[in-house]
């Protein structure tokens, strides 16, 4: 049994990870300021500390007697980062640096959330870790900077870390009613309430959707590898692209049809974001198992 720290453990992915770790028999400490996470998401068997990762003194204390840290606290939205550039940078980059510094002090291996957004617009249709990042939003720039900071912390302090470039994660507990919600959760909320859905651009943009249950298995596996070695960054994806139009039509078949409003494409968003999972399969010896059609039927 290990004792883990999860930053952002009341959030969408974080709360599912906490549940998974506790089911595996581990002890879990959560730090979350509940600005985006929800108290109802917290597993009753975790130790909860209501604090901000920007509060370094409180953050550092959280690393006492911890075997590994999963850093998921973030403002995970391209559009929010454009509207709130400085706030987003403070949390996503400075907050991460403070987490890395605490982890380095305690010599704690760390698995942290990066993002497929770091790739930006590429000529390649399949995005592999060998490609040079090309961030086109403040969120993406901050996430790439976090990866560079991880390399620097490894060089200076020997910090072991793995950055996970999440593609489009979906599933239960994802925020549904925010202007910054993910596309599947936003569609779900509006279809269930018989409201029109909004598609930005022509809807032909492709995304690599992966269910949160698959994601937490892969996050947990990443810690095993990180404890043994510094692993760099890995895509967390299925390798399968799906257009936004196809997502809409599939959800209409499951939940009922509503009107589609097509709007101008939004700045900061890539046209194609489909990951290569070759490195994932090679290093993790695991792959996603939940097909999109099945995952969409379990969003509550």
For each of the domains in the chain, give its residue range(s) and CATH number, in order of start.
Answer: 3-168+209-236 (3.40.50.720), 170-207+239-269+289-295 (3.90.25.10)
Distances in whole angstroms, Cα of residue 288 to Cα of each of 18, 168, 299: 19, 13, 17
Q: Give the model's pLDDT for residue 177.
A: 64
Q: Give the model's pLDDT for residue 180.
A: 57
Q: Give the model's pLDDT for residue 10.
A: 98
Q: Give the model's pLDDT for residue 199.
A: 96
User: Tens digit of pLDDT per residue, the chain (300 long)?
Assistant: 999 999 999 999 999 999 999 999 999 999 999 999 999 999 999 999 999 999 999 999 999 999 999 999 999 999 999 999 999 999 999 999 999 999 999 999 999 999 999 999 898 889 999 999 999 999 999 999 999 999 999 999 999 999 999 999 999 999 886 665 689 999 999 999 999 999 999 999 999 999 999 999 999 999 999 988 887 999 999 999 999 999 999 999 999 999 999 999 988 887 888 999 999 999 999 999 999 999 999 898
* Residue 235 CB partners (closer than 8 Å, separation 6+): 116, 127, 128, 129, 165, 167, 275, 276, 277, 279, 280
Q: Give the model's pLDDT for residue 222.
A: 97
**91-108 burial, b for 16+ CB within 10 Å, e for fewer?**
bbbebbbbbbbbbbeeeb
Q: Give the model's pLDDT for residue 269.
A: 81
Is the pTM higher than 0.75? yes
The question of whether 180 is a catalytic residue gets the answer no
Query: Catalytic one among 112, 139, 144, 188?
Result: 139
């Amino acid at each position: 049994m290990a004792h883990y720290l999860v930053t952002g453990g009341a959030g969408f992915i974080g709360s599912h990870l906490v549940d998974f770790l506790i089911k595996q028999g581990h002890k879990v400490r959560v730090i979350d300021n509940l600005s985006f996470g929800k108290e109802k998401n917290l597993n009753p068997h975790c130790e909860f500390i209501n604090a901000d990762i920007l509060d370094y003194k409180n953050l550092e204390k959280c690393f006492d007697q911890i075997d590994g840290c999963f850093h998921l606290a973030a403002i995970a939205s391209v559009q929010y980062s454009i509207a709130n550039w400085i706030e987003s940078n403070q949390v996503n980059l400075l907050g991460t640096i403070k987490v890395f510094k605490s982890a380095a002090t305690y010599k704690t291996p760390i698995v942290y959330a990066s993002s497929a957004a770091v790739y930006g617009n590429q000529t390649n249709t399949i995005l592999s870790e060998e490609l040079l990042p090309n961030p086109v939003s403040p969120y993406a720039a901050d996430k790439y900077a976090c990866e560079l900071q991880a390399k620097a912390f490894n060089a200076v302090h020997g910090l072991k870390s793995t950055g996970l470039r999440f593609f489009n994660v979906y599933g239960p507990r994802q925020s549904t009613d925010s202007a910054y919600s993910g596309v599947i959760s936003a569609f779900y909320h509006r279809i269930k309430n018989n409201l029109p859905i909004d598609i930005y651009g022509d809807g032909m943009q492709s995304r690599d959707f992966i269910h949160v249950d698959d994601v937490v298995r892969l996050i947990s596996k990443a810690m095993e590898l990180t404890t043994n070695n510094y692993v760099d960054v890995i895509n967390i994806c299925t390798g399968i692209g799906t257009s936004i139009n196809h997502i809409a039509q599939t959800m209409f078949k499951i939940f009922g049809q509503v009107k589609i409003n097509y709007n101008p494409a939004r700045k900061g968003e890539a046209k194609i974001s489909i990951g290569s999972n070759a490195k994932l399969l090679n290093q993790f010896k695991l792959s996603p198992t939940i097909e999109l059609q099945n995952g969409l039927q379990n969003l509550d």
